[in-house]
Amino acid sequence: MSVDGYVGRYVGRKIVFCGLLVGLLSMLSGQAVASEKEHYVQSVISLLRLHADAIRQLATKEFKYSRNLARHAAALHHTFGLLGPMDWHTAEAAFLQKKSADGQLLQADDFEKMADRCQLSMKTLQQTALQHVESGGKPEPVLKALDDVQGVCSSCHDLLGGAAPDVWGKQGK
């Protein structure tokens, strides 16, 4: 074999190897982006759980920080917004359901109704917490409003058959 033929095969193999290496690196890069997104979502979910825990504590015990109850209720709503506005959240839920669906798909209108219920339950929690801070009273209305928020979130996530993250954890409602 001539030197030119040998060099040509060597260069050809290097090109194929480099192509495979670039392909592998791009796949790993895509996985890193996915895991960064998942890490971000988990971070936001952790914040949601912390606000819910704080609301439970502040609604049931009177102490120095009890007036922060309304702030935590507002923060829970704002933190939820970090996962996207409701129209985006609805579209993401529809995408996850299509990706994992074994049965009948819910219509976009159904998701929008659930999203509206979620927004309404969060506003109710904020109003109930503010009223509790301003007027006092029993913790039950605040806890019920928090349970409603958690229940609305969970009911939608349950419909997605495990494709959506468990926002409230095993202890959540």
pLDDT in tens, 26-66: 554 455 555 887 888 889 889 999 999 999 999 998 878 88
- Tokens coding 81: 């917004």
The contacts of residue 94 (CB under 8 Å, 6+ apart) are: 105, 106, 108, 111
Q: Where are the domains of the chain?
A: 41-159
pLDDT of residue 97: 67
According to DSSP, residue 102 is labeled S
Q: Where are the alpha helices (DSSP H) in the chain?
A: 3-60, 69-81, 86-100, 108-135, 140-159
Angstrom distance (rounded) from CA 19 to CA 166:
39
Angstrom distance (rounded) from CA 15 to CA 38:
34
Token pair 């759980």: residue: 49
**Domain 41-159 falls under CATH 1.20.120:** yes
pLDDT of residue 20: 47
Please say whether the beta carbons of 137 and 73 come within 8 A. no
Q: How many CA atoms lie within 13 Å of 85's alpha carbon, on the beta-carbon side? A: 1
Angle at CA of residue 172, ends 170 and 173, nearest 5°: 120
Average of pLDDT values for 83-93? 68
Average of pLDDT values for 82-108? 67
pLDDT of residue 155: 81
